[in-house]
Structure formats: structure tokens, C-alpha cells
Amino acid sequence: MMEKDRISSAMIIMLIILMLKSVNFVSGTENLIDTYCPDNFPLYTSSTSFQKNLKLLMETLSSNIVASNTSFFNNTSTGEGLDKVYGQALCRGDITNSTVCKECIEKASKDLMNRCKSEDAMIWYDVCQVRYSFQMFFSNAVYTGKYPKQNDLEKRVSDPTSFQQVLTYLMNNVSNEAAFNPAKNMFATADIEFSKKKKARIYGLVECTKDISETDCRSCLSSAITELNACCSYREGGIIVSRNCNVRFDLFEFFNASSSVAPLLIFPTSKGGKWKPWMFVLTICGSILIISVLIVFCIACLRQKKAREGDEERTERTLLQELASPKNVAITQEGELISSDQLFMTLATIKAATGNFSDTNKLGHGGFGTVYKGVLPDGNEIAVKRLSRKSWQGLEEFKNEVILIAKLQHKNLVKLLGCVLEGEEKILIYELMSNRSLDQFIFDPFRRPKLDWKTCYGIIGGLAKGLLYLHEESRLKIIHRDLKPNNVLLDHELVAKISDFGMARMFSENQNTANTKRIVGTHGYMAPEYAMEGLFSVKSDVFSFGVIMLEIISGKRNNGFYTTKLAPTLLAHAWRLWNEGNGLEVVDPILLVSCLDSEYEVVLRCVHIALLCVQEDPQHRPTMSNVVVLLGSESMALPQPRQPAFSSGKAIHVEPTASINHSVNESLWSNVTPR
């Protein structure tokens, strides 16, 4: 009796939710979903020709889109030379009413212009999207998934495991249809029942921009579905948007079913689909197993902390499962398995150590969270990195960092002491570096004079050795990918220690280059081939190292270095002075004061090595072992550097070219090897 009542009231509630949501669809076809507006890109200023071109482009797009016959998609460019702007607009495949499409594009374009002054930006609305850039991006697939906030509002489903299976089946089917069925033209929808009893369905939609290839579309969708699974597979709806593809699901028909074919899929169950006695046995055994695992898990939880809200435990569980998943075991195959429990500390300990994360203990605020200072009961000082609470993206970074750093031990790498994973708290604990980070030293007018040449040289050497360890000496070949002065910490003796491995990637022994669809990193330190094409290799870290070296030597930032029209970047500035035979002018005068006369030669040599590291072509850059050898020798001849990247015109302006083959020519540096 009770059971029946409960079911029917649940159904009524479901119905009400469904009705509310449908109402939402009807009135909300022009809802803003998300924007991409990087503040570390060049910004344009008003009444420049770039802005004029952009404005014109935005107007052209909305009229072009309805003129294009088959589908509402258009790419166009306006202007010439450095002020050329490229733009692209797309209406969702189920939108067949050109008025609706045009109005959405117009609204989105205006909105984007109002919200964003970056030279590369994008906006997603419910039924359309608009993108523009100073770079030519057509046909160039790049995956940069975004996670709109509205996902957090979605309710949790009651049976996440089977829900996720059905959802994955649905999304894979529509992805294949969209990418490989020419009739679908990069857009597909479908629905599927996930609960026989309630006749409840999941509705799925995927879409790619129409300028990319079938395989690029499919791999974009795969990445997006992976993220969708991570964020939303236990929710009643979810959406991931990206430059070249979007995916979405919901429990109501959110798309225009009268214009898009949405077949009802059947989830393949074991034959017949009827309940047989052995199935009951299996289910009961399974449940008992799951329950006992849960009990063990809960006991462990309770031991760590008396009471905790059970609601948030999923994040932790998935993370722990992922840490122990075969993928991660494979990573560590050469060594022993990481015993993650040794690393785990309790939230209570960390709260006590940091005065409950008090503001007075705050050291800084970074991309993924806040850093606090703390003291453990044994008197050891620690740095506590508390990842922002709701940052689902931080989960990946977290996993990466814990696994990587736990395996790495080197004088020039910051040491991970432990981590905390409780509820939504994700915390990393490091040894405390009393002199904080390099940027707070080299760019600070008061602290910089404390750095003499000897110390600077030591920092450069330490940094080089730390990187060499990452690239070649640790058993794992690791590319840091986000090397910058903020990520170089200094201990009490001003020894450099590399930190922040959230974006690092591991390479197998004989792999030299990789391509990523997801470009992460910091503008100003990213190598051109990585920023443009997503190609990264050890040589992209070498580039970042070269930039940091020049920053240490000159005391100036590469980012925001706009002294003269002739030299828009620090690299161009150094390159120009070098070619004029005035290499020493690159060096900060304060630093030169601390040099002995005999050291001028070494300083100049460092400028030379830095310029070799930032050359445009990765093949011409030395490896880190070359660099370590060159730094340690005063006599070894150095080749003339070639033109560095980003030294002409804008900070970034390269048309996509055929991909670079890095593996060919290492002979350039073959005579410079350790020992």
C-alpha cells in the first residue's frame, strides 16, 4: 500500500517537473548558456579598425546565415592584414524557422560584443552560437569543453548506474549518426527509455560545426561525452559546449521534434528482457556486495570524521575509483602502485592547521583555488591548496597532480605531503616555501634587488635541472605544459622548485609529440606550435623555460610588454638588442650591478641560451639536457639563435600550417649531450 502511494506521488511530482521544464523550453529558446572570453588574450580597444571589422562581421553573420541555403551555418571574415576578423555562426539543427535563427544570432552577437573585449571569443545560446577570432580557425578542430553553470541545478537521478549506461548508449548512437551519417549533416537527436515502469525517457542531442571533418566531429563529441559523463551522468540533465561541438541531454523533449528525426532507441538488454530467477539471485548478491562495500566504506569514513553529509560522497567515490582504475595502474606500471591512503589526511587536521582556513593564513589565490599557510601538530609548516568547491574541472587536475607528484622526488620539484578528499573538499598539502613564488620576487620592485646575479643563476640552474628530471630522468616522461614564474616556488635558500602539475601530461618512452584537443596553459609562456595547433612536446616546455629565463634576467614580464611598436614582446625586444650586438642591454641594470666583471660573459651567455630556447621552430630549440650542459660550461660554442616566436606584429598571429614533424632533426644538438 505504502509503496504504491509513494510511487504515484513520485509520478505526480515528475509530471509537474516535466511540465515546468516544457514551459521553460517554449519561452526560453534564446537563453544564454555560456561564454568564452579569455582575459589573458590580447584585448581590442574601441574605435580601432579591429573593432570596426568585428562589428561589420557580426552584422554580416546574421544576414549570411539565412542566405545560406541548406543549413543555418556560416563562416565569414572581414578586413585585411592584422585587423582581419574571422567569424562563425551556427543555429541548432532543429531550428528551421529562419526568423528564430536570425534573431538568436543577432541577440547573441550583440551580447558577445557587450560582454567581451577579447580578440578571440565565443558565446553559446540555447539554439545558436557565435564565435569570432583574430586567428583563422575554420576547419580547425580544437576541443575546449565548457561546463555551463546550469548543470549544477539539475536534480540527481535515483538510479545513477543504470541511468549512466542508458545515457552512454544514447549519446554514442547520436554521435555516430551526427558524424558519419551524411544525411544528418553533423546534427542528431534521439530518445530512449530508461525506466520501463515510468515510461521515462532521456532525450539526447549532439551537434558539430559544419566546417570540420567527420572524424574530428566524432572525436570532439567523444571528449564532450566524457566530460558530460563526469559532470552530469547522475543528473536529470546536462550540457557541455565546446568550440566545435555541443552535447546535451534532458528528461524532456527540449528540441523541436517536428523538424528533427528523433528515433526511439532500445537499450540492448540480455535476451528477452524478462526477469528470470537467476537474475533475482544475481541482483540480490550484487546488492549485498554493494551494500557491504558501502558499509566498509562508511566505517572508514566515520573513522576519519564523525559525521558527514552523505549527499556529496559520490565525487569522492568516483575519484577514488578513478585513482585505482586500470588506467592509472598502467601509468605506474614501472614502479609500485601508489598507496593513496598514505597520502590522505583528514579535513579536521587541515582545518586545525590553517585556523579553519582563516583569511590571515591566506597566501594566494590561483586558477583552481586558494592557498593557505598552515602548521601541523608536529610543527611542520605546510602550504595548503584548497581547490574551489564546485570546481568539477578541478577534479581532473586534482587526480593528475596527486598521481604525478606522489611519484616524483627531486630537489627542484615541490614535494607533496598529502591530500584531503572529504565531501566536496579537495585539498593538496605541500611543504611550505618561505619565499613563495618566483613572480613575486622578480617582478616586485622591492624584493627584486635582493636577487643578485649569483642567486638568479642558481634559480635558472635549478629550474633547468628540475625540468630535465621531469623530461628525461624520472622514469615517467612528463611535460609540464604550464610552466611560468607563478609555478616556480622558492624555498628559504631561494632554491627553485617546480610546482602545479595539474596540467602535466605523461609520455611513453618513445613518444615525442602529442596533439591535444584541449589547449591549456598561460598566454605568454605557451610555445607557438602548442598555442596554435595543440601540439606539445618537451620542446614546448623548453620554450616556456626560455621565456622565464629572459624574465629573470630582464626583470620584465613577457606578457604585457608593450614598450615600443618595434618590439611588442619581451622576446622581440631581446632579439632586436641581440642582433644589434647589445645583448647586455636586455639585462636588468640592478642585476648587472651585482655582477663581477668576469661574470658579464656568463650573463650574456644566458641571454644567448634563452634566445635559443624560444626559437620559433621546436626543432631548433635545445633539449633540457642540452641546456643543463650549456649552462654548466663556459667554453662550449653556441649556435646563433634564429628568430624567436611571437616577435613580429601581434602576440599571436599564425595561420594554421601543415603539422610540424618534430622527430626528424635532432642532429642540430647531437654534439651537446651530457658527459
Ligand X SMILES: *[C@@H]1O[C@H](CO)[C@@H](O)[C@H](O)[C@H]1NC(C)=O
Q: Which residues bind ligand X (CB under 6 A)?
A: 64, 67-69, 74-76, 95-97, 99-100, 138-139, 173, 176-177, 211, 256, 258-259, 263, 265
Closest to ligand X by CB, 138 vs 297, is: 138
555: left (phi over 0), alpha (psi -120 to 50) or beta: left
Distances (CA, A) of 307 to 297, 298, 302, 303: 14, 10, 7, 9
Compute the distance between CA of residue 142 and CA of residue 516 in angstroms, rounded to an integer: 8
User: Read out DSSP for 356-390?
Assistant: TT-GGGEEEEETTEEEEEEE-TTS-EEEEEEE-TT
Closest listed residue to residue 615, CA positions, set 546, 537, 513, 514:
546
Question: Least distance to ligand X from the beta carbon of 257, Å?
Answer: 8
Compute the distance between CA of residue 346 and CA of residue 127 in angstroms, rounded to an integer: 45
Helix (H, G, I), strand (E, B) or coil at 8: helix
Closest to ligand X by CB, 169 vs 543, is: 169
Backbone phi, psi, residue 56, to 5°: -60, -45
Closest to ligand X by CB, 107 vs 523, is: 107
Compute the distance between CA of residue 178 and CA of residue 184 in angstroms, rounded to an integer: 6
Residues 6+ apart with CB under 8 A from 64: 74, 76, 89
Question: Least distance to ligand X from the beta carbon of 29, Å?
Answer: 6
Task: Please name every residue paired with 160 in a beta bridge, in sequence order, or none if there are none.
Answer: none
Closest to ligand X by CB, 265 vs 319, is: 265
Question: Least distance to ligand X from the beta carbon of 48, Å?
Answer: 23
Closest to ligand X by CB, 265 vs 532, is: 265
Compute the distance between CA of residue 279 and CA of residue 11 in angstroms, rounded to an integer: 27
Q: Which three cell numbers stand for residue 530?
A: 602548442
Task: Please name every residue paired with 349 in a beta bridge, in sequence order, or none if there are none.
Answer: none
Closest to ligand X by CB, 95 vs 301, is: 95
Compute the distance between CA of residue 61 and CA of residue 74 in angstroms, rounded to an integer: 7
CB 82 within 8 A of CB 653: yes
Compute the distance between CA of residue 121 and CA of residue 117 in angstroms, rounded to an integer: 8
Closest listed residue to residue 319, CA positions, set 427, 245, 411, 225:
427
CB 138 within 8 A of CB 211: yes
Closest listed residue to residue 223, CA positions, set 511, 534, 500, 526:
534
The active-site residue out of 94, 120, 191, 482 is 482
CB 372 within 8 A of CB 425: no
Query: Is there a catalytic annotation at residue 359?
Result: no
CB atoms within 10 A of CB 575: 23
Closest to ligand X by CB, 182 vs 589, is: 182
Question: Rounded to 10 degrees, what is the CA torsion of 49, 53, 56, 62?
Answer: -160
Closest to ligand X by CB, 100 vs 239, is: 100
CB 571 within 8 A of CB 558: yes
Pairing of strands 187-195, 264-265: parallel
CB 113 within 8 A of CB 105: no
Closest to ligand X by CB, 255 vs 501, is: 255
Residues in the chain: 675
Alpha carbon 604 to chain centroid, angstroms: 36
Closest to ligand X by CB, 75 vs 135, is: 75
Question: Least distance to ligand X from the beta carbon of 86, Å?
Answer: 8
Backbone phi, psi, residue 13, to 5°: -60, -45
CB 168 within 8 A of CB 233: yes
Q: Helix count (H) and strand count (E) of the chain?
A: 19, 21
Closest to ligand X by CB, 74 vs 219, is: 74
Residue with cell 603539422: 659
Closest to ligand X by CB, 263 vs 649, is: 263
CB 480 within 8 A of CB 501: yes
Compute the distance between CA of residue 379 and CA of residue 353 in angstroms, rounded to an integer: 10
User: Read out DSSP for 549-609?
Assistant: HHHHHH---STT--S-SS--SHHHHHHHHHHTT-GGGGS-HHHHHTS-GGGHHHHHHHHHH
Residues involved in catalysis = 482
